[in-house]
């Protein structure tokens, strides 16, 4: 029996997470799902997007299936629920795979993983200022850089043993300089891994022009966030992009996409990113066979092309796509 915290969040998070739960239940594996509410809707009701009871409850489970939360613009002092949660759970490594898949506009030969530092950088949450001038503190620490670099090299060792270190250390000499130095130090412990370095602007261009050259991409927080969305765009878009946020004691699985207010409530959100995130969860808990089967079911539905949501060229609903995946499973 696996205990799983389930946190749908806002917008389409509420539509796709139940579908991931349905897909997991259809495996026949035994799960105990424990639901918790966080996000903007909770903030509007209770004044706090991530109540302490939710954090305590989520932590009582070893893994969490997360949807997405809304972070509205223009509300001073509102902090993003997912950033608060990631910090509270100590999940410092955001693992975002992008792999070619059988949809019309997916590029061939792409199989890369962005390993993004998840706790600091420009997302440190330390901001101050007034109407004339505002500041955000970009924090890079030795400890956080070292643990994310170790995680990326470990992943590279299990893959094609190529790692691209992405920084802007020529300009951000202190912060990215530290991230780079620490990463290159960790590289010395892994001589089997071929290391290339790219500045983030050039990396962004190469991901578009020749994504096939990448295996593991190691990057500080903001660069990893942007490059992974860019990579997702090459292989079918956000509706197909899963991720895992891993720490020493906890793991949270979440689609890369947000709450998508433009389509929320219409029943047409693509559930595949959430279902593929659930597949990453199955791998994490050691259910490799079911992880593989679930991914194969998603791929077969994509290949058949009959049950696709509008974001990838179809006209099916969220529920119909999940039904097709469960049938294929
Ligand atoms: P978004 O990812 O929500 O949406 C971007 C575009 O992709 C939209 O056109 C949307 O319709 C489409 N899209 C995303 N997921 C889809 C899916 N599963 N199926 C079909 N189409 C999909 O990004 P945004 O519009 O920039 O942000 C909306 C809100 O989500 C904001 O409040 C933002 O702060 C928040 N957000 C949250 C997370 C998170 O919780 N992890 C991540 C990103 C954005």
Identify the residues whose C-beta falls under 6 Å from ligand 1. 12, 16, 68-72, 82, 238-239, 254, 257-263, 269-270, 273, 309, 311
Contacts (Cβ under 8 Å, ≥6 apart) of 200: 166, 167, 168, 219, 223, 227
Give yes or no for a contact between 169 and 130, defined as CB atoms under 8 angstroms apart.
Answer: no
C-beta neighbour count of 322 within 10 angstroms:
25
CA of 270 to the centre of ligand 1 (A): 11
Compute CA distances 149 → 31, 161, 183, 268, 317, whole Å: 33, 14, 5, 38, 40
Joined tokens for residue 82: 């997912």
pLDDT of residue 77: 78
Quick one: which atom of ligand 1 is closest to the CA of 263? 11
Give 252's strand partners.
64, 245
Residue 263: pLDDT over 90: yes
Give 198's strand partners.
166
pLDDT of residue 125: 86
Rounded Cα distance between 182 and 147, Å, is: 10
Compute CA distances 204 → 168, 214, 223, 226, whole Å: 12, 12, 9, 9
pLDDT of residue 76: 77
Q: What is the mean pLDDT of residues 138-167?
A: 98
Choosing from 181, 201, 248, 249, the catalytic residue is: 201
Q: What is the mean pLDDT of residues 109-134?
A: 94
Query: pLDDT averaged over the chain?
Result: 96
Residue 64: pLDDT over 90: yes
Minimal-distance CA residue to ligand 1 atom 22: 239
């Amino acid at each position: 029996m696996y205990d799983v915290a389930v946190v749908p969040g806002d917008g389409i998070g509420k539509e796709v997470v139940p579908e991931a739960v349905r897909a997991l239940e259809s495996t026949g594996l035994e799960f105990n799902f424990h639901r918790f509410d966080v996000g903007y809707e909770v903030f509007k009701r209770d004044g706090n997007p991530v109540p302490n009871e939710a954090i305590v409850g989520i932590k009582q489970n070893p893994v969490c299936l997360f949807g997405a939360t809304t972070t509205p613009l223009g509300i001073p002092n509102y902090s993003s629920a997912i950033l608060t949660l990631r910090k509270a759970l100590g999940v410092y490594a955001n693992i975002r795979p992008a792999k070619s898949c059988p949809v019309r506009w997916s590029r061939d030969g792409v199989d890369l993983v962005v390993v993004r530092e998840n706790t600091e950088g420009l997302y440190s949450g330390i901001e101050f200022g007034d109407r004339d001038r505002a500041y955000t503190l970009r924090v890079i620490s030795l400890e956080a850089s070292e643990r994310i670099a170790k995680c990326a090299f470990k992943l590279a060792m299990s893959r094609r043993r190529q790692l691209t270190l992405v920084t802007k250390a020529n300009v951000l000499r202190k912060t990215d300089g530290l991230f780079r130095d620490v990463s290159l130090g960790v590289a010395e412990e892994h001589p089997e891994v071929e290391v290339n370095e790219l500045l983030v602007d050039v990396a962004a261009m190469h991901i578009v022009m020749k994504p096939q050259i990448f295996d593991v991409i190691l990057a500080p927080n903001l660069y990893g966030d942007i490059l992974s969305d860019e990579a997702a765009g090459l292989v079918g878009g956000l509706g197909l992009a899963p991720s895992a946020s891993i720490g020493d004691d906890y793991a949270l699985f979440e689609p890369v996409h947000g709450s998508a207010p433009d389509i929320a409530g219409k029943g047409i959100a693509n559930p595949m990113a959430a279902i593929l995130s659930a597949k990453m969860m199955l791998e994490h808990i050691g259910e490799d066979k079911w992880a593989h089967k679930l991914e194969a079911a998603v791929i077969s539905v994509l290949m058949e092309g009959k049950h696709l949501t509008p974001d990838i060229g179809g006209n099916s609903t969220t529920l119909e796509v999940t039904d097709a995946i469960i049938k294929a499973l």
